[in-house]
Each structure stands twice: as C-alpha cells, then as structure tokens.
Amino acid sequence: MGRAPLRVYADTSVFGGVFDDEFEESSRKLFDQVRGHRFALVVSSLVEDEIADAPPQVEDFYLRILPLAETLYLTPEALRLRNAYLQAGIVAPKRATDALHVALATVGKCDLIVSWNFRHIVHHDKISRYNAVNTLEGYLAISIHAPIEVVEHEEEV
C-alpha cells in the first residue's frame, strides 16, 4: 500500500505567490502536486481571513483550490501554543498571526508548513526556536520550508 501524502499547511503567502513573478513557478507546482495527490493541502480559518484582504485573483484561486484542502480552525490549544511562541520571543506580538500559522499547523499535526515569509516563519533561527517550544509544550517538531524546497522539479536531461 502506498504512503499517505504529506499533510502540508500552506499559509497565505503561498496563494499570493501564484501571482508573484518571483514565486509563481514553485507556488503553482506545489498546487499542481496537491492536485496530483503528492501533498494533502491544509489551510486554516486564519488563511481564509487573510485571503479576504488579498487581491481578487488571489481570492479566486484560493476558492478554486479550497475543495482540495482540509481547513483547521482556531482552538484554545492553538492559541496557547501561539502564546508560548510569543512568550519565547520568537516573534513580536505584532506578528502574532505568523506565530498562529505555525501553531495551527503544529496542533493540526501537519507534516510541514510552506510559506514565502522568510522573516517570521521560514527563517533558520525561528524554525529551531518554534520547534524548541513545540518540544517543551509536548508537540512534535514541524518542518518549515519555502515551496521551492519541497516541490518536485522535472529532471534536466
């Protein structure tokens, strides 16, 4: 029997990346690989809230891909973990939503998070600190990557 696809939490930046010259190719490949069942897409009500403020084409794309996704909702457990990240000083309180993305994915037992947010999520120092808090709080470590790091690219011949 085949292995279950990895549960991949995509934050809002990945949906916006579909329409950004720098991030378009890898973002689109990620969603193509979701359609091909390599990844099981996970989003959250937080992504949904942020998408509401995005340009119309981003919101339209999100709504088209949403039927393929599992949606996580805010829980007291996720809020507690977000607060633990804030207390640990991983991000400033004004970046609490970034910490909440990581908390939702962690509590939701995702295998990895993909994001184009290199300052507050996909940052080598922050990844290790998020995972240190996860360990202290009794959660598994979570992989955090930019989409370009996880999509399968065609081999050059």
The DSSP secondary structure of 134-153, one letter per residue, reads HHHTT----EEE-HHHHSPP
The answer to whether 105 touches 98, Cβ cutoff 8 Å, is no
Residues of the chain with pLDDT under 50: 155-157
The domains found in the chain, sorted by start residue, are 6-149 (3.40.50.1010)
The pLDDT assigned to 4 comes to 84
The answer to whether 41 touches 70, Cβ cutoff 8 Å, is yes
DSSP letter for 155, please.
P
The pLDDT assigned to 156 comes to 45
Q: Is the pTM of this model over 0.75?
A: yes
CB atoms within 10 A of CB 115: 24
